[in-house]
Structure formats: structure tokens, C-alpha cells
Amino acid sequence: MALSREELIQAVSSQMPAKRWKHTQGVMESAVILAEKYGADPVKADIAAILHDVAKYWPVAEMEAVIRDNGLNAELLSHDKQLWHSEVGAFVAERDYGVSDSEIINAIRWHTSGRVGMSLLDKVVCLADYIEPGRDFPGVEHIREQAERSLEEGLIAGFDSTISLLLSQRRVIYPLTVLSRNDLIAQLHN
């Protein structure tokens, strides 16, 4: 049984620090604005945004167990732990919160890495996570400016920012993020 929006907010906000809940509220606001601007379903965008970081503060061992025990994307386990919460969050949105809409579940699953062939809702939630009003990192204003032009331009700028940061820190780049970026560029040139 799916929870009401208010029940989801209560359940999710109680699992994270106040600062992260403030971020989630910013993603909710940004996702609805982007959905209305670019033609996605604002209700689905709102629900996906509420849940996008539901597992962010779970213990690493618990996230790993959920991935292993439920046949989720085990490739993630050999990459940055920051990617794990999106896969786990998508799973628990369905299992624990009764979300049965595959578009919402996918938007949660792909909000950190993107994917090749991102849906409109995937793009909205991923970009909202980059540009929500509380975000303050080098290059965020450029991402926000590009988001005014198109979802694709905004996401390319976001992925470029992530990839550049990881390169500067000599960290491993999750291959799907590069593939997602390249796919968005191809979309713009077709």
C-alpha cells in the first residue's frame, strides 16, 4: 500500500539530518519547477524527489546487504559508496513505501549516475539534485544557467562538473556517468 505524500515526508525526513532534509526539500521544489517547465509529471517528480535520498544515511554495511541480498546492481559495490544509496533507495521506495510506479523508481535509481536513455523524469530528478537552491559548489551557477536552456544541457554541465571533480581528485569515475553524458550529447546532436 502506497503511503500518502505526508506519510512519505514524515518517514523520509525522520531518517536523515535536518540539513539533508532541507536539501531534499530543495530537490522537491526544483523537480516540480523543472517538471512543469519541460513537460514531466510534477506529482511523480515530487514523489521521486522526496524519496531520492531515503537511504543516504543508512549504514554502509546495510546498503551493501540490501544490494547483495536482493540481486541489485552488484557492480556498484566496486565503485564509490556515494552511488549505493540511489540503488538501495529505489528498492526501498518499492518495498517499504509502496511505490509501484516504475518511472518514479527509475528516477530514484538513476539520480546519481544517470543512464543511457534517461527518461524525462530521470532527467528532471537528477538535474534537480544538482541545482536545488541550497547547493553551493564551484560551477553550480553554470549548471543552473544551462538548466534554463534545456534538461540535457543542464545535465551535461552537471556530469561535466562531477567528472572534473573526480579527475582532479584522481578518483575512479563510474563508467555509466560517462556513458550518460555522452548519450545526452548525442541527443542534442540528433
pTM of the model: 0.96
Q: Is 35 exposed, middle or buried (0-12, 13-18, 19+ CB in 10 A)?
A: buried
Answer whether 28's CB lies under 8 Å from 46's CB: yes
Q: What is the pLDDT along the chain (190 residues), one digit of tens a residue?
A: 678 999 999 999 999 999 999 999 999 999 999 999 999 999 999 999 999 999 999 999 999 999 999 999 999 999 999 999 999 999 999 999 999 999 999 999 999 999 999 999 999 999 999 999 999 999 999 999 999 999 999 999 999 999 999 999 999 999 999 999 999 999 999 7
Structural domains for the chain = 5-189 (1.10.3210.10)
Number of Cβ within 10 Å of residue 40's Cβ equals: 24
